[in-house]
């Protein structure tokens, strides 16, 4: 963003408004507000992304009465008849209605520091202005037929600077055929940077293909969570057998569980159906399933080897998981984390803190890699397929248990270091 004498405006003191206006004539031939992208009409997707990005108000410039149907159940409203107090500074973000946005991109536009009473635009897709006279901007939007006319009118009122928007956070539709690549772009954006190799290159490819079809149905993320857990519970008893075919079936069922476990979060994010209840359901039930599986593996290996050691190690690992989860939840409660970010923050603690503690190279770096859940799932599947499932015992001794000791030690010690 090109700023000459920019003055940072605290976002906490500025009410934010997302203004969605029609695209410039000819810029989106055949693209309408009800064009479906990943299971949601384009306009509804824009409005929900704005709400998720934290805008206090979302207005849509449209003379079409059908827009009311697309806005049903949201906090957005039509620009016609809207009023804004003239004595309150507002951050107004203007977006063309043919843009498929990511919420993080809109949040960046809402929070970025700009100079008051100056227009920042990137051409015909997005613009920002902080002004004490937001009613004048809304009046200009009411008179204009599209984003091009509106920006021309605002240039006559405000000095202009270039808005260097992040192109990776939006996708502009120029024709209906663009919806398919837009959906691919949306789904690819669901892949987290911190995911492991197996998750990124194997599990995610399958889960995203499933999610692409799920968005066209009425299936909810909570239903996917229940089905995923059901597959995991169904697979756990197979690990009680010493027969390789039974162990392979259990590994396949748990692999299916792991893939579907990604689908519920993907579906929730792409549909804007995240909820605190869903986060708790996915996290706590998944943790309970992990305990059930580890215990079943310990008992099964004990029966296969005729030794009590595998069973003892299985329950020791379950105890470490329980203790770690309790400490992690306590730490989150102490920090005042909200329910909606609980799962993301918790997985961040369990994965990233281990990586921060150990070096990226050498034996400890290797330990942090092979202890990841996606690597563990691969190990279960391969060992079961080769009839070498008892090797899981050595894997638990050399990799899993030391990793949880490291993570647990850091979580126990960090709160004490953080206190004054």
Those residues whose C-beta lies under 8 Å from the C-beta of residue 223, and which sit 6 or more positions away, are none
Q: Residues 190, 343, 320, 380: what is their CA dihedral angle, to the nearest 10 degrees?
A: -30
11-180: CATH homologous superfamily?
A: Spore Coat Polysaccharide Biosynthesis Protein SpsA; Chain A (3.90.550.10)
The predicted pLDDT at position 179 comes to 95
Could you tell me which residues are beta bridge partners of residue 20? Answer: 60, 95
Task: Name which CATH class applies to 190-418.
Answer: mainly alpha
Let me know: does 369 contact 400? Beta carbons within 8 Å.
no
Task: Say whether 386 sits in a helix, a strand or coil.
Answer: coil
* 187 touches 38 (CB < 8 A): yes
CA dist., res. 365 & res. 221, Å (int)? 35
**pLDDT means per 10 residues in the chain (420 residues)?**
41 77 88 93 95 93 86 88 64 95 93 92 90 90 91 94 83 94 92 69 87 92 89 87 80 86 91 78 76 80 78 79 69 49 34 39 44 59 65 58 60 48
In this predicted structure, what is the pLDDT of residue 416?
A: 45
And the tokens for 185?
């772009």
The pLDDT value recorded for residue 20 is 96
What pLDDT sits at residue 410? 56
**Distance (Å, rounded) from C-alpha 140 to C-alpha 151?**
9
**Structural domain boundaries in the chain:** 11-180, 190-418
3-state secondary structure at position 281: helix
The DSSP-derived string for 122-183 is -SSSEEEEEES-HHHHHHHHHH-SSHHHHHHHHHTTSEEEE----GGGEEE-SSGGGHHHHH
Nearest to 168 by CA among 189, 137, 146: 189
DSSP per-residue string spanning 188-251: HTTS-TT--HHIIIIIHHHHHHHHHHHTTSS--HHHHHHHHHHHHHHHGGGGGS--HHHHHHHH
Q: Which residues, at least 6 apart from 169, have a Cβ–Cβ distance to it below 8 Å?
A: 101, 102, 104, 105, 106, 108
Q: Which of 378, 391, 384, 395 is nearest to 241 (CA)?
A: 384
CA-CA distances (angstroms) from residue 59 to 9, 22, 74, 241? 22, 12, 11, 60
């Amino acid at each position: 963003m090109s700023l000459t004498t920019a003055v940072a405006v605290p976002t906490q003191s500025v009410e934010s408004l997302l203004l969605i206006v029609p695209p410039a004539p000819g810029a989106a031939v055949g693209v309408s507000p009800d064009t479906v992208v990943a299971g949601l009409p384009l306009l509804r997707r824009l409005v929900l992304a704005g709400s998720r990005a934290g805008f206090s108000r979302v207005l849509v410039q449209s003379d079409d009465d059908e827009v009311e149907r697309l806005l049903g159940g949201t906090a957005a409203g039509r620009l016609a008849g809207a009023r804004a107090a003239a004595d309150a500074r507002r951050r107004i973000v203007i977006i063309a209605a043919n843009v498929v946005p990511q919420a993080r991109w809109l949040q960046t536009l809402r929070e970025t520091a700009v100079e008051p009473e100056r227009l920042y635009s990137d051409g015909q897709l997005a613009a920002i202005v902080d002004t004490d006279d937001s009613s004048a901007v809304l009046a200009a939007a009411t008179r204009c037929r599209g984003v091009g006319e509106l920006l021309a009118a605002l240039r006559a009122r405000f000095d202009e600077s270039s808005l260097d928007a992040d192109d990776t956070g939006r996708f502009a539709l120029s024709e209906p055929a663009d919806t398919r690549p837009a959906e691919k772009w949306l789904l690819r954006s669901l892949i987290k940077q911190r995911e492991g190799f197996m998750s990124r290159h194997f599990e995610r490819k399958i889960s995203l293909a499933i999610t692409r079809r799920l968005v066209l149905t009425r299936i909810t993320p909570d239903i996917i969570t229940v089905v995923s857990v059901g597959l995991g519970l169904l697979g756990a008893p197979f690990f009680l057998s010493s027969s390789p075919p039974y162990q392979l079936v259990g590994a396949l069922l748990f692999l299916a569980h792991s893939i579907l476990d990604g689908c519920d979060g993907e579906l929730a994010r792409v549909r804007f159906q995240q909820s605190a209840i869903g986060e708790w359901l996915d996290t706590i039930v998944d943790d309970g399933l992990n305990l059930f599986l580890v215990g079943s593996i310990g008992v099964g290996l004990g029966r296969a080897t005729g030794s009590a050691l595998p069973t003892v190690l299985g329950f020791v690992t379950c105890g470490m998981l329980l203790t770690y989860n309790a400490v992690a939840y306590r730490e989150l409660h102490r920090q005042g984390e909200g329910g909606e970010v609980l799962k993301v923050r918790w997985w961040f603690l369990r994965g990233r803190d281990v990586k921060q503690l150990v070096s990226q190279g050498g034996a400890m770096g290797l330990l942090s890699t092979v202890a990841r859940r996606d690597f563990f799932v691969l190990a279960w599947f391969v060992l079961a397929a080769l009839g070498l499932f008892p090797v899981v015992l050595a894997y638990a001794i050399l990799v899993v248990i030391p990793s949880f000791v490291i993570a647990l030690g850091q979580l126990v010690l960090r709160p004490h270091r953080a206190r004054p």
